[in-house]
Amino acid sequence: MNTNTPKILGIAALLSALLSPAHAAVVDLNPLQTGLYTNGDGALSRWVQVTDDWNGKWGIEQLADQKAVMDLPTGNTGILRSLEEKVSTINFSDDVYRALWANTDAWKQYVTTPVPLFSPTDPNQNDYAARFTGYIAITTPGEYNFGVLSDEGFKFTLTGANGSFSSQRDGLNPRDLVGFDSNFAMQAGIYQFTLDTYEHNQAGVVSLNWWQGTATKDYSLIPQSSLFSATPPVPEPQEWLLFAAGLLTLAWYFRKNKVASPVAAT
- The reply to whether 239 falls in a domain is no
* pLDDT at residue 242 in the model: 46
Q: Which pTM value belongs to this model? A: 0.80
pLDDT < 70 stretches in the chain: 1-24, 214-217, 236-266
* pLDDT at residue 57 in the model: 86
Could you write out the DSSP letters of every residue in 214-263? TT----EEPPGGGEESSPPPPPPPPHHHHHHHHHHHHHHHHHHHHHHSPP
Task: Find the CATH number of the domain harbouring 198.
Answer: 2.60.120.1560
pLDDT in tens, 147-179: 999 999 999 999 999 999 999 999 999 999 999
- The reply to whether 105 falls in a domain is yes
Best CA proximity match to 182, nearest among 161, 165, 207, 164: 165
- The reply to whether 109 falls in a domain is yes
**What is the count of structural domains for the chain?**
1
Q: Residue 34, SS3? A: strand
- The reply to whether 245 falls in a domain is no
- The reply to whether 7 falls in a domain is no
- The reply to whether 150 falls in a domain is yes
- The reply to whether 24 falls in a domain is yes
* pLDDT at residue 251 in the model: 59
Neighbours of 37 (CB within 10 A): 24
- The reply to whether 247 falls in a domain is no
pLDDT in tens, 202-226: 999 999 999 987 666 689 999 999 9
* pLDDT at residue 181 in the model: 93
Question: Residue 158 belongs to what domain range?
Answer: 18-228
* pLDDT at residue 120 in the model: 85
